Structure 1
Amino acid sequence: MTVANVLFLESPAGVGFSYASKSFDYTMGDKQTAKDSYTFLINWLERFPEYKTRDFFITGESYAGHYVPQLASLILSQNKNTNRTIINLRGIAVKHFDPCSSDYVLSYLNRAEVQEALHARNTSWEHCSGFDWTDSPITILPTINQLIANGISVWIYSGDIDGMIPVTSTRYSVNKLKLPVETAWRPWYYNKEVGGYVVGYKGVVLTTVRGAGHTVPSYQSERALVMISSFLQGKLPPSFTE
């Protein structure tokens, strides 16, 4: 099933195959990460201009609950400069497995032929790297409010068995936005089974994915596809009657 063109970005510098040529570039923070990601996107679109007119959505999981809204906010700000490439930002989705999957990924991405195929430099790939992090806001909710005010579609999704960022914690955070409910909390379905639950607020959709942990697609790939497809189409995940 073809849903979208996907561009994967390892961020910040030093994560995965990404690297910087100068050591001081590894002193990172939320703001610098957003700036670097924006610079990458602009340069990528200049290199592949056929994608400039496409609708653009940003998704992420875990600490990308900071990265994604802040990058979206920076895009909105920079789009006001008509002399620059305009990024057609339409929406964001933020996440606020197989226990051996990390081992599989580590082994696969450290194979020489895989690194060559990805045009990555010959290096030792690892999941996380230590950084001197310079800034991290206590809350990202004001940025979420800014995006809502600018008409950006905001989805927050959560695996219902996520022990790192539980659904309850996510609901408490969303409730602090004090948004009116447009669609009451209800189940959504895939393959005649409950795929998760969803509630539609004015400006934000909060959805869960049943049977998924912290990295949702690693646990429930098909349900995750239904969820992300609904996000891209601008509609809630399907009810039982659809």
Structure 2
Amino acid sequence: MASSTVARHPLFTIFVAIFMLLAIAARDKQEGDRAGFLPGQPRSPPVSQFSGYVTVDEHNGRALFYWFFEAQTLPAQKPLILWLNGDPGCSSVGYGAASELGPLLVNSNGTGLEFNTFAWNKEANLLFLESPVGVGFSYTNTTSDLDNIDDRFVANDVYTFLVNWFNRFPQYKSHDFYISGESYAGHYVPQLAEVVYDHNKHLGGNQQINLKGFIVGNAETNDYFDYTGIVQFAWSHSVISDQFYEQVKNVCDFRISPIANECSHLMNLLYKMYHEIDIYNVYAPKCTTDGSAFLSSSSDSTVKKEAKNKSKRSRMYSGYDPCHSNYVEAYFNRMDVQKSLHANTSGWIQDRRWSLCSDLISDDYDMEVFSVLPIYSKLIKAGIKIWVYSGDVDGRVPFIGSRYWVEALGLPIKSQVATMVFKKSGCWKVC
């Protein structure tokens, strides 16, 4: 019996060879981003982590910095969550990863790290991104980029980041994908979700990002409800007087954007009334140091100025130490830490220190979107899942405003409000 052979077209062989070369290149880039043990990291439990840069605009030399943690168990079976911090202009590496929900938190003196028993990577693969460009280690070689940053610019950059990141980590392309964040990320997150959703409609299945939903906490969402919540929270917690509260109600019409100058003046006075209170946690003690003792270059006048100015955003996360932000900045300004994270390879922060929040971004950011609620309605109709949570001690983006805008969506309630208790702390939930 004559043996038979299957002839393969030369183009097929070339395609297979190219595919294999691309796979090898992606694996090499991925492994090049692997971070071993960081300075001061505990040896146990082990943490699988990667960090580095992904280019989002080759022409302008624009790249975003990420820090990625695989799930503690069965990462191949767990979803992928992207985390974004807000303000705008604050670092997801310094806040989200190293102070809140990452597996490695900066310790109480800034000399090392400690394991976070409440890390989200117990249940998911966690991707932290410093965005927009100019925040943290993310950089651009074209300074005019920093003059053009608004919500649309950010969403498009992060989408490009995701496409390129998945090319580097193709094993996660099929995973359920969720976008999450807090504060001004209440704008970033739904707008990015919309960009992903719209792109997916015009792409083939293997090119789509497997978006399943998004998660937002104490999220800036709608100017009218957000400002109303800020004022009512300050009044109900005795930060402002009855007379001042009535004055704001008489002067301010938060349905108009931007708000009138007289109203803007009153709101600035309201924020100043928090000068002895941490607006992000009104029951927490406030840090009394400017942080200069923790900075490696404390002799530099620019460093001292930034350390003083940053107090407006200092917030307490890990445990009950109100000065934790100082420790985080001290840690990420260490050269050995930056080298271990493959950070600052371009020398972007050579003449300035890494900071938790960028005044350059927050002061010049174009906040042109009054409300993202239309995006909620659009994506809910499309079947995208959304989880909203809101802590009750935040005076900057209070739960009161969150209640108002959730109600404004007019969604049917499937189950009644119920209490939820963890240890001795209580809250309520609604589905």
TM class, shorter-chain normalised? 0.7 to 0.9
Q: Deviations over 1:144-182 (max 9, x none)?
A: 111111111111111111111111111011111111111
2:325 to 85, 95, 102: 102
Aligned-residue offset at 1:194: 4.3
Distance 1:175 1:152 in 2: 18
How far has the Cα of 1:126 moved from its partner? 0.9
- Candidates 341, 356, 360, aligned match of 1:127: 356
Where do residues 19-30 of structure 1 align in structure 2 (5 Å cutoff)?
19-26=139-146, 27-30=148-151
Q: Equivalent residues in 2 for 1:127-166 (5 A)?
A: 127-129=356-358, 130-131=360-361, 132-166=364-398
Which stretch shifts more, 82-91 or 138-147? 82-91
Q: Could you say what secondary structure the match of 1:73 adopts? A: helix
Paired residue type of 1:85: Q
1:47 aligns to 2:276 (yes or no): no
Structure 1 85/163 Cα, relative in aligned 2: closer, same or farther at 3 Å? same
TM-score normalised by L of structure 1: 0.78
- The 8 Å contact of residues 57 and 89 in structure 1, kept in 2 or not, is answered as yes
Q: 2:210 is matched with which residue?
A: 88
Extract structure 1 runs of 4+ deviating beyond 3 A: none
Structure 1 gaps, min length 5: 201-242
Structure 1 residue 68 and structure 2 residue 193: aligned? no
Alpha-carbon deviation of 1:135? Answer: 4.4
Matched, 1:170 2:170: no
Question: In structure 1, what is the Cα distance between the partners aligned to 2:426 and 2:159?
Answer: 34
Q: 1:195 Cα deviation (Å)? A: 4.6
Query: What fraction of aligned residue pairs are identical, expressed as a percent?
Result: 46
Deviation at 1:189, TM superposition (A): 3.0
Q: What SS does structure 2 have at the residue aligned with 1:71?
A: helix
Any idea what the Cα deviations from partners look like across 1:17-44, whole Å, max 9, x if unmatched? 1111211111200000000000000000
Indicate conservation of the 8 Å contact 1:187/1:194, yes or no.
no
| Aligned 8 A contact 1:186 1:197 in 2 | yes
- 2:428 matched residue in structure 1: 197
CA distance in 1, matches of 2:369, 2:428: 29
Structure number with bigger Rg: 2
Structure 1: distance between partners of 2:177 and 2:198: 15
Deviations 1:48-85 (A, max 9, x none): 11111000011101000000000000000011122572
Q: Conserved in 2, the CA contact under 8 Å of 1:73 and 1:143?
A: yes
Q: What does residue 177 of structure 2 align with?
A: 56
Matches of 1:81 and 1:133, distance apart in 2: 30
Letter matched to residue 414 of structure 2: E
- Find the counterpart in structure 1 of residue 157 from structure 2: 36
Gaps of 5+ in 2: 1-71, 73-121, 220-315
Count of matched residue positions in the alignment of Structure 1 and Structure 2: 199
Q: Is the 8 A contact 1:31 1:135 kept in 2?
A: no
Contact 1:189 1:195 in 2 (8 A): yes
- Structure 1 window deviating more from structure 2 (71-80 vs 83-92): it is 83-92
C-alpha distance in structure 2 between counterparts of 1:153 and 1:101, whole Å: 33
Is residue 169 of structure 2 the alignment partner of residue 11 of structure 1?
A: no
